[in-house]
Amino acid sequence: MNMVASITDQNVIPVDLQPVMDAVCSVGVDLSRVIARGALGGALGAEVGENTDGDQQKALDVMADEAFAAALVETSVRFYASEEQDSVVELNPEGRFALAIDPLDGSSNIDVNVSIGTIFSIFPAADDADASFLRPADDQIAAGYIIYGPQTNLVVTFGNGTHSFVLDPDTHTFLRAGAPVTIPPTSREFAINASNYRHWPKPIRAYIDDLVAGEEGPRGANFNMRWVASLVAETHRIMTRGGVFLYPSDDRTGYEKGRLRMVYECAPIAFLVEQAGGKATNAQDRILSQQADELHARTPFVFGSPDKVDRIAAYHDLPEDEVSALFGTRGLFRA
């Protein structure tokens, strides 16, 4: 499907990246149609194996990965790094770019009809495959996601703001949707998986306790919690309404650095968030100033409205005795 007319906007998209974006969007259109068919399209949520980190792969995970790789092989993408692949794949030896992708984020939600998506990031290609991705996240030249929900949206940045496009189901093209995205600076929403409360570091627990305490607590306001368990869905809500998302490290085996991948998830989302006026950290330090030390490396992740992200970092800066005191008096989730 030819997507050249879908997002051609020289004020937004660099000319040399247009073919890459056309390929990404064409697969996005096809995936949107497959996902919309649900069970009529077969057992899309069936488990078909595990990826390199031991996460269960769904049938649609593998289908999406194969489709993106096939579409990008005809573009100037030299190196392709996918969450569903053990290592980097070389697509076009003459290519200038390196593209990292989570082909289908939130695939555990396929069968329950919750929004899922695709996350991607583009770097200039280096001479070495791994070195193209194991570099400061600030080196990204583009990042974006496609969310498959009630509408299918493309949200993308090329370092010139964060821009939103909506898929027109009649013409199968992505159309520009208004002005550049700006994350609302204030909001009373937060997103975290509260079932893991007992495993979190004390600063995270103290911060959440203060939110849950509501009007009677130190924040003097009521807050609402949201949790979709789909990073793209969480990101899209924050892009629209503000708030903060937290996926901290915790004391469970395998969660010492959280569960989200730096290269495929956190770096591109952080780029989008900063370009929309928000902030993104590992709970303390800026994500875009960091780099992964291996392809599938994980990192704690906090992003959203700047005041909330800064406040979470401030809780980590408190002396241990002060954090312990806060937790001791406000541990509202404790039995």
**What would the pLDDT profile of 85-123 be if each residue is shown by its tens digit?**
999 999 999 999 999 999 999 888 888 889 999 999 999
- Quick check: 167 and 117 in contact, CB under 8 A? no
Supply the pLDDT for residue 328.
61
Lowest mean pLDDT among 2-16, 71-85, 204-218: 2-16
Mean pLDDT of 2-28: 79
Are 148 and 196 within one domain? Answer: no
Q: What pLDDT score does 334 carry? A: 39
Let me know if residue 287 belongs to a domain: yes
**202 and 322, same domain (yes or no):** yes
pLDDT one-digit tens code per residue, 134-189 = 999 999 999 999 999 999 999 999 999 999 999 998 998 999 988 999 999 989 99
Is 241 in contact with 226 (CB distance < 8 Å)? no
Number of domains in the chain: 2
Per-residue pLDDT, 168 = 93
Judge whether 92 lies within some domain.
Answer: yes
Please check whether residues 77 and 217 belong to one and the same domain.
no
- Residue 178 is predicted with a pLDDT of 87
Share of the chain above pLDDT 90, in %: 78
How many Å apart are CA 79 and CA 77, to the nearest integer? 6
Answer whether 60's CB lies under 8 Å from 35's CB.
yes
The reply to whether 209 and 296 lie within a common domain is: yes
Q: What confidence category does residue 58 fall into, taking pLDDT thresholds of 50, 70 and 90?
A: confident
In a domain, 259, yes or no: yes
Last residue of a domain, one of 176, 203, 229: 176
Residues 270 and 321 both lie in one domain: yes
pLDDT band at 4 (very low <50, low <70, confident <90, very high): very low
Question: What are residue 27's phi and psi, to 5 degrees?
Answer: -70, -40
> 289 is in which domain, residue-wise?
189-330
The 3-state secondary structure of the chain reads CCCCCCCCCCCCCCHHHHHHHHHHHHHHHHHHHHHHHHHHHCCCCCEEEECCCCCEEEHHHHHHHHHHHHHHCCCCEEEEEECCCCCCEECCCCCCEEEEEEEEECHHHHHHCCCEEEEEEEEECCCCCHHHCCCCHHHCCEEEEEEECCCEEEEEECCCCEEEEEEECCCCEEEECCCCECCCCCCCEEECCHHHHHHCCHHHHHHHHHHHCHHHCCCCCCCEEECCCCHHHHHHHHHHHCCEEEECCCCCCCCECECEEHHHHHHHHHHHHHHCCCEEECCCCEHHHCCCCCCCCEECEEEECHHHHHHHHHHHHCCHHHHHHHHHHHCCCCC
Tell me which amino acid residue 289 is. S
The DSSP bridge partners found for residue 101 are: 82, 120
CA distances from residue 227 to 6, 224, 284 in whole angstroms, order as listed: 32, 10, 22
Q: Provide mean pLDDT across the span 263-277.
A: 98
Of 176, 205, 223, which residue sits at a domain end?
A: 176
Domain identity same for 164 and 209: no
Same domain for 206 and 127: no
Structure-model confidence comparison of residues 64 and 330, the more confident one: 64
Would you state the pLDDT for residue 38? 78
Is residue 289 domain-resident? yes
| Residue, of 301 and 330, whose pLDDT is higher | 301
User: Which of 54-58, 123-127, 216-220 is predicted most confidently?
Assistant: 123-127
pTM of the model as a whole: 0.92
Q: Residues 292, 206: one domain?
A: yes
pLDDT of res. 5: 37
Q: Is 34 among the domain residues?
A: yes
Q: How high is the pLDDT of residue 54? A: 56
The residue out of 176, 199, 232 marking a domain boundary is 176
How many CB atoms are closer than 10 A to CB 38?
13
- On whether residue 7 sits in a domain, the answer given is no
The predicted structure's pLDDT at residue 237? 97
- Looking at residue 46, its pLDDT comes to 59
| Whether 283 and 152 share a structural domain | no
Residue 268: the pLDDT is 98
Same domain for 198 and 88:
no
Token pair for 329: 């008096």
Task: For residue 225, give the CATH number of its domain.
Answer: 3.40.190.80
Residue 3 lies in a domain: no
CATH code of the domain in which 161 resides: 3.30.540.10
Residue 148, in any domain of the structure:
yes
pLDDT at site 150: 92
Query: Does the pLDDT of residue 260 top 50, yes or no?
Result: yes
Residues 262 and 143 in one domain: no
Which range is least confidently modeled, 23-27, 32-36, 207-211, 317-321? Answer: 317-321
Say how far apart CA 323 and CA 200 lie, in whole Å: 13
Per-residue pLDDT, 186 = 87
